[in-house]
Structure 1
Amino acid sequence: MLSKNKIKQLRLLHLKKFRRSEGLFVAEGQKLVFDLLDSGMKVREVFCSPELITTVEKKGFNPKNIHSSQLVDLKKISQLKSAPDIIASVQIPEHSLSWEEIAGDLCLALDGIQDPGNLGTIIRLADWFGIQHILCSEDTVDLYNPKTVQATMGAIARIKLHYGNLPDYLQRANEMGIPVYGTFLEGENIYSAPLSPNGIIVMGNEGKGILGSVEPLIRHKIHIPNFPANRKTSESLNVAMAASITCSEFRRRMTPRKP
């Protein structure tokens, strides 16, 4: 049985300021926790039903840091609608920003993404398309928000996010000759526009799009057209959907065609 103090400590990790002070975040559910255990991330403690203890031990996790827990206690910690049978506290990793790596491949840049689910989905699709780095404006939602962590489905272990001054990042990219792309309604059709195998793709805020401080630093404006062009349709795409389409087209250009 978990103590009231331990339950309180874990619940506090749902708040950003406590995650920062403790250097920990919470992961919930078998899929996510097992992925993190397999990934090499530093899992601090695991709290699970008695039936899962052997499975966790087989993954090489220190038995001293496995705590047999009742579902009623896990429910007090969890933010999911259905309480999971396993929860873990995980150390927040420190990632260094490598401009050499960014210059040689595709990278995403997020300008004020606010929805945790959108950020988690974007991280997941970045993992799918082999994009290792994401540059985030300082007002982008926290990576370790519980809803974001859950939406990554384990991709959080493989993608490096860097929070900072986005205009400064893009200015540096321009100085290095790294192509900077951005999605706009008035941009060039993405399916006919020239696209490079490397570069930074900027995705804007859910409601405001790419902000005025960032737009002048974008050298290549691209647009995802609706079909057919003259048909009345939705005002815009969800940012995670737009990111998926954009990344897919960039990677498609890199795929060798069979003779």
Structure 2
Amino acid sequence: MLSKNRIKYINSLKIKKYRQLSQAFIVEGTKSVLELLDSDFTVEFVLATTEFQQKYSTISSQHKTLFETVTLQELQGLGSFQTNDSCLAVAKTKQNDFLCAENNEYVLVLDDVSDPGNLGTIIRIADWYGIKKIICSETTTDLYNPKVIAASKGSFTRVDLFYTCLPVYLAENAKSAMVGGAFLGGESLYDFSFSSKGGYIVMGNESNGVGAEVEAFVTHRITIPRFGEAESLNVGIATAVILDNMRRQMGAELKA
């Protein structure tokens, strides 16, 4: 049976302030926990049902992580998602280490993406398209929010994020780089030529788009052409469309 202190500790990690104080976060569900165990994150402990431990006994035996047996009812009472029927882990957060675009590399830049589900989806999309780094404004939602971790489906273990003041960051690190930004008005994505030298792709806030301070550093305004009547695209979907076109173009150049 779980102790009151353990329950209190896990519940506290649902709040950003306590995640920062404890430097820890929650991961729920089989897929995400297995990805976590296979990553370079430090895992404090795993709460798992008997069925999970039996099914993945080989994996659990390979790790020194503390596994504690819990019931399904205990899991559902602790986690954020009632669909979790297998396990919950607590891991240590990472340092906010500096990141930048290296030679021939594209990096995502997120300006005030506030919805946790959107951030998690963008991390998953970045992982799909081989983007390893995301630069986030200080107002972008917290990577370690349980909803972000859940929406990323384990991709948070393979994509690194760096939170910083974007205008200062871009002024210092993108002086000679291509900085493409998603806007409703700009050059059509289908006509735009992505630089083979890499650069930065800026995605903005769900309601307001890219802010004026960040826009000042955008060298190329990119628009996804609209053929219907929808007012706008979800930022996660827009990110996928842009990255897909970028990868198609890069692949075509490699074949040429």
Answer whether TM exceeds 0.5 for this pair: yes
- CA–CA separation in structure 2 for the residues paired with 1:83 and 1:171: 44
Identical columns (%): 38
The equivalences for 1:94-133 within 5 A come to: 94=95, 96-99=97-100, 101-133=101-133
The equivalences for 1:27-46 within 5 A come to: 27-46=27-46
Work out whether residues 7 and 76 of structure 1, in 8 Å CA contact, stay in contact via their aligned partners in 2: no
Q: In structure 1, what is the equivalent of residue 182 of structure 2? A: 183
Q: In structure 2, what is the equivalent of residue 209 of structure 1? A: 209
CA displacement 1:53-92 (0-9 Å, x = unmatched):
24555221226x1101112211221110324320000111
- CA–CA separation in structure 2 for the residues paired with 1:252 and 1:25: 36
CA displacement 1:119-170 (0-9 Å, x = unmatched):
0000001001111110100000000000000000000001110001011121
**Match for residue 246 of structure 2 among 230, 245, 250:** 250
Work out whether residues 99 and 135 of structure 2, in 8 Å CA contact, stay in contact via their aligned partners in 1: no
The 3-state SS of whatever aligns with 2:6 is helix
- CA–CA separation in structure 2 for the residues paired with 1:56 and 1:165: 42
- CA–CA separation in structure 1 for the residues paired with 2:174 and 2:112: 20
Letter in 1 for 2:52: L
- CA–CA separation in structure 2 for the residues paired with 1:49 and 1:174: 48
**Match for residue 239 of structure 1 among 205, 217, 235:** 235
How far residue 51 of structure 1 moved from its aligned partner, in angstroms, is 2.3
Work out whether residues 173 and 179 of structure 1, in 8 Å CA contact, stay in contact via their aligned partners in 2: no
- CA–CA separation in structure 1 for the residues paired with 2:97 and 2:106: 17
How far residue 30 of structure 1 moved from its aligned partner, in angstroms, is 0.5
* The 10-residue stretch of structure 1 (87-96 or 4-13) with the greater mean CA deviation from structure 2: 87-96
The 3-state SS of whatever aligns with 2:212 is coil
The equivalences for 1:98-177 within 5 A come to: 98-99=99-100, 101-175=101-175, 177=176
Check 1:244–1:92 CA distance in 2 against 1; reply closer, same or farther (3 A cut). same
CA displacement 1:190-216 (0-9 Å, x = unmatched):
111221131100000000111111111
Check 1:102–1:119 CA distance in 2 against 1; reply closer, same or farther (3 A cut). farther
Check 1:84–1:146 CA distance in 2 against 1; reply closer, same or farther (3 A cut). same
Segments of 5+ residues of structure 2 without an aligned counterpart are none
Check 1:98–1:112 CA distance in 2 against 1; reply closer, same or farther (3 A cut). closer
The equivalences for 1:49-68 within 5 A come to: 49-59=49-59, 60-62=62-64, 65-68=66-69
The 3-state SS of whatever aligns with 2:73 is helix
- CA–CA separation in structure 2 for the residues paired with 1:163 and 1:45: 27
Check 1:74–1:108 CA distance in 2 against 1; reply closer, same or farther (3 A cut). same
* The 10-residue stretch of structure 1 (153-162 or 83-92) with the greater mean CA deviation from structure 2: 83-92
Q: In structure 1, what is the equivalent of residue 74 of structure 2? A: 73
- CA–CA separation in structure 2 for the residues paired with 1:56 and 1:189: 48
Check 1:202–1:169 CA distance in 2 against 1; reply closer, same or farther (3 A cut). same
